[in-house]
Amino acid sequence: MSEPGFALRPIGHLETPFATIADCPRNGRKLKPTPLCHAVVDEAFQPGLAGLEGFSHLILLYWMEQTKPAELVFTPPFDPNPRGLFATRAPWRPNPVALSVVAFDGFDAPGRLRVRNLDCRNGTPLLDIKPYLPTTDSEPDATMGWLAPHATR
């Protein structure tokens, strides 16, 4: 299989209180209170933020550049059975792209978005921002496969 002809280009970076991967929570929503973080968009991309006001939540895509190499099968820390990587949310992936739905608290300054519920280290490259749309992005009847017995809200 040949390599695809594309390249990823960060549009900015994320500012969080987590200096290292070890400091990052497994799920940013579980921290109480959820710390204020920032998505900082480079000046060249700031015109793309027009119209973002009024959305309560955003989807952030970012690059986890400091994860360990991908393990295609591993045993999760809370489950005794080996699982395939693609049946988990583990951060080590062939392409370490992460996705978080974050609460959007507005702007501090042009290109500086206040967000909550992030779970990545400070300085993580930001790849994209999309508005979260409950009519499109929510699946109330979704099931969780092998994770269902481990789910807690």
- Are 5 and 30 contacting, i.e. CB atoms less than 8 angstroms apart? no
| Centroid of chain to Cα 41 | 15
Distance of alpha carbon 85 from alpha carbon 118, whole angstroms: 21
- What structural domains and CATH numbers belong to the chain? 12-134+143-150 (2.40.30.70)
Distance of alpha carbon 51 from alpha carbon 101, whole angstroms: 18
Residue 124: both structure tokens together: 């993580």
Q: pTM for the whole thing?
A: 0.86
Per-residue pLDDT tens over the stretch 22-57: 655 555 555 566 789 999 999 999 999 999 999 999
Span 122-126, average pLDDT: 92
